[in-house]
Amino acid sequence: MKVRFCFSAEQIKNISMVIDHAAVGLIEQSELASGAAWSLCGIAMRLVGRVAFPLFAFMIAEGAVHTRDRRRYALRLLLLAVISEIPFDLVA
């Protein structure tokens, strides 16, 4: 019996985003970035995290292609952007 374990695009996007945010929050903005090993680890984590944006763009394009009403889809994206801007501004 062969067991296959596959990740969906959503799971890969979320995992890479968490790794990227952990690199920024835990390594680059702390005292850990001073060591060479931690700095290298932070760079590697940021490289893994760079996979998230192309997946975001691809999934938005696929959502626009497969939706029934593009206007409602665009409004939902706009609403999500407005809502997520507030926490982003509070953190930055």
User: pLDDT digit string (tens) for 44-86?
Assistant: 888 888 888 888 899 999 999 999 999 999 999 999 999 999 8
pLDDT at 92: 60
Q: What is the pTM of this model?
A: 0.67
For helices 52-66 and 9-22, the axis angle rounded to 10 degrees is: 150
pLDDT exceeds 80 at position 34: no
Neighbours of 19 (CB within 10 A): 18
**Residue pair 70/64 in contact by the 8 Å Cβ criterion:** yes
The span from the CA of 76 to the CA of 70, in Å, is 10
